[in-house]
Amino acid sequence: MGFFVYCNVRFLVSMLLCFCWWNLPVFSQSSNADWWKSTTVYQIYPRSFYDSDGDGTGDLNGIIQKLDHIKDLGIETIWISPFFLSPQRDFGYDISDYRSIAPEYGDMETCLKLIEEIHARDMKIVFDLVMNHTSDEHAWFKESSFNRENEKADWYVWKDGRGKNGQKPPNNWKATIGGSGWHWHEGRKQFYWASFLDFQPDLNYSNPEVKSAMLDVARHWLSKGVDGFRLDIFNSIYEDASFRNNPASLRIVPSEESPDGFFQQMKYNVNQEGSFRFATELRAVVDSFQNPARFMVGEVFGDVETTKKFCSYNGKDGLHTIFLFKTLSTPFKAKKWRKMVEEFEHNFAEPFVPTYVFSNHDRRRSITPLDNDVRRAKLLAFFQFTVRGIPFTYYGEELGIEKPLLPLKTGLDPLAQRYKSIPQFMVNLTGQSLNRDECRTPMLWDSTQNAGFTSGKPWLPISQNFRNKNVQTQERDSVSLLNFYTRIINFRNENPILQDGTLAIAKELCNRKVFAFYRELNEAKVLVLLNFSGQEINSEGFSSELIFSTHSTNNINTLLPFEGRILKLQ
């Protein structure tokens, strides 16, 4: 009976969408080659998604078993954080073999089955490619660090130190997480450069052999049918060839829009011309695989003008798109969002497509800055799936999984360990997750022990309120956040205007409480209205045929608190 009920709610939602149909063609107008422009992406952190063998950590087989959850949501593309062979010191972002699967996640056969199962559902799969660095346990680094003469001696960024004994770092560059990024290696009596943590040495892309080896890694997975890549810290690939010192800066901590921090401008270690150029080389490799065309999204940090060069260097093709992390720091206010969308539309006008991401495995849960308020979370989802751009949903966002408070001191995350001397109350004040364990707690599947995530001991704690936040419970509740996600994503899928339509801000309707924009495609036009306030707003002036609302309402003249609605104009 229970199963029947929850199946039915989702089934009903889909059927309703078919019937609430209005006169537009059903399929997106994006050509096959441009499928990514109108896609929707769901990010899986494999360690935390579903554990099929009871060892307390998620695995590939677990993902296969839960694919229908993502399919039912209406999502097209799945991006999976790295599951390659790794000592797991940074939980997979420290790779020791790009072509093998970490045994705790599965094996090659399961990986190929995963690709096949995703394609069988008419979905796409995007791998996470960590090109900037390897683990210090990668065979390449072991060989490279052995002495200065071996065949891989120049595969990493090695430099002599300064000072009398050569024990001072070669220059003043800071790692992106603070502290010198140069690390002394006793074997070579030299320093190696690491943009992130010391056990993640940067590869040396000015060595053509390195470049070609890494392009081969990309080819390897593309030839196995992978539909594209999310590219980890892609703006750190190249360094300045003459290793000039970075200039001073007053900035203390880097932000999403500026990598400058720790009192220096990251002028010579990130966002280098070589990295922009490399984006075009990688694009050529990716484009050599067709039917279907493949897709890349870069994790880059910096102002939009600079980072946009990753998508179009000297007018040539680069990455398809990049993450625009301003979304993570923009307060949930009508005017701020209007400004953000205006900026994204300006900088990423056609043929570019902006991205909209509100949390990931490094950043606090998206519902946290919304005071864990489900009404706001629905409006956020409504925005994400109605605005022009590629929406990224991080697993559990559709349930409103909340950020727990996990102390730095006991954090498994290597960043938490690095910062553990920072007083906890200071971290709590920021509301951010310096301990990234907080962003990675297990997916909540049902109300049984461990929320149905594992039959063993979960590697991270299960959310305390899992009994009302899990998939099964929310599937049975017609007004749950999960059912709202299903409703809005399927509505978007059925309405090409929301995928491919142009966007124009409805300036005359925007104010402190309301953000509004038009979407237009061919002869059709809709108005999207978002009430960012907790008050009702008289909307008589802009009433028209209501075709979608976050709420169940027929009152065309009143915009309800935190309501998002779509009106058909023509």
Q: Which residue numbers are catalytic?
A: 232, 299
Min CB(533)–ligand GLC separation in Å:
34
Token couple for 331:
């307060």
Indicate if the alpha-carbon torsion angle 456, 462, 467, 468 is positive or negative: negative
Per CB under 6 A, 93 contacts ligand GLC: yes
| Residue number with CB closer to ligand GLC (433 or 474) | 433
**Spatial contact of 172 and 181, defined as CB atoms under 8 Å apart:** no
**Spatial contact of 78 and 125, defined as CB atoms under 8 Å apart:** yes
Min CB(389)–ligand GLC separation in Å:
20
The site map against ligand GLC for 260-299 (x = CB under 6 A) is: ---------------------------------------x
Q: Which residue is nearest to ligand GLC (CB)?
A: 93
| Residue number with CB closer to ligand GLC (427 or 471) | 427
- Residue 386 is classified by DSSP as T
Per CB under 6 A, 492 contacts ligand GLC: no
Reference 9, options 72, 64, 96, 85; nearest CA is 72
The site map against ligand GLC for 153-192 (x = CB under 6 A) is: ----------------------------------------
Q: How far is the C-alpha of 128 from the C-alpha of 23, rounded, in Å?
A: 39
CB-based burial label for 426 (10 Å; 0-12, 13-18, 19+): exposed
295 Cβ partners below 8 Å, 6+ apart? Answer: 35, 36, 39, 77, 124, 126, 227, 228, 229, 286, 320
Q: How far is the C-alpha of 154 from the C-alpha of 209, rounded, in Å?
A: 9
Per CB under 6 A, 137 contacts ligand GLC: no
Size of the site for ligand GLC (CB under 6 A): 9
| Region for 522 from its dihedrals, namely left if φ exceeds 0, alpha if ψ lies in -120 to 50, beta otherwise | left
Cis peptide before 25 (omega within 30 of 0): no
Cα-flanking dihedrals φ and ψ of residue 193, to 5°? -95, 135
| Residue number with CB closer to ligand GLC (98 or 445) | 98
Per CB under 6 A, 310 contacts ligand GLC: no
Per CB under 6 A, 130 contacts ligand GLC: yes
Per CB under 6 A, 59 contacts ligand GLC: no
570 Cβ partners below 8 Å, 6+ apart? Answer: 523, 524, 525
Min CB(495)–ligand GLC separation in Å:
32
- Determine which helix (DSSP H) or strand (DSSP E) holds 428, and give its type and residue range: helix 424-430
| Residue number with CB closer to ligand GLC (214 or 233) | 233
Per CB under 6 A, 362 contacts ligand GLC: yes
| Residue number with CB closer to ligand GLC (53 or 362) | 362
Per CB under 6 A, 300 contacts ligand GLC: no
Using CB under 6 A as the binding rule, the residues of this chain from 434 to 473 that contact ligand GLC are none
120 Cβ partners below 8 Å, 6+ apart? Answer: none
Q: How far is the C-alpha of 40 from the C-alpha of 72, rounded, in Å?
A: 13
| Residue number with CB closer to ligand GLC (69 or 183) | 183
Min CB(299)–ligand GLC separation in Å:
6
**CB 556: neighbour CB atoms within 10 A?**
16
Maximum alpha-carbon separation in the chain? 79
Sort strands 182-185 and 190-193 into parallel, antiparallel or unpaired. Answer: antiparallel
Per CB under 6 A, 232 contacts ligand GLC: yes
Per CB under 6 A, 361 contacts ligand GLC: yes
Min CB(93)–ligand GLC separation in Å:
3
| Residue number with CB closer to ligand GLC (90 or 500) | 90
| Residue number with CB closer to ligand GLC (130 or 381) | 130
Min CB(357)–ligand GLC separation in Å:
11
Min CB(15)–ligand GLC separation in Å:
39
* 101, 129, 233, 380: which one binds ligand GLC (CB under 6 A): 233
Min CB(361)–ligand GLC separation in Å:
6
* 90, 202, 239, 397: which one binds ligand GLC (CB under 6 A): 90
* 196, 383, 385, 491: which one binds ligand GLC (CB under 6 A): 196
Q: How far is the C-alpha of 201 from the C-alpha of 207, rounded, in Å?
A: 15
Binding site for ligand GLC (CB under 6 A): 90, 93, 130, 196, 232-233, 299, 361-362
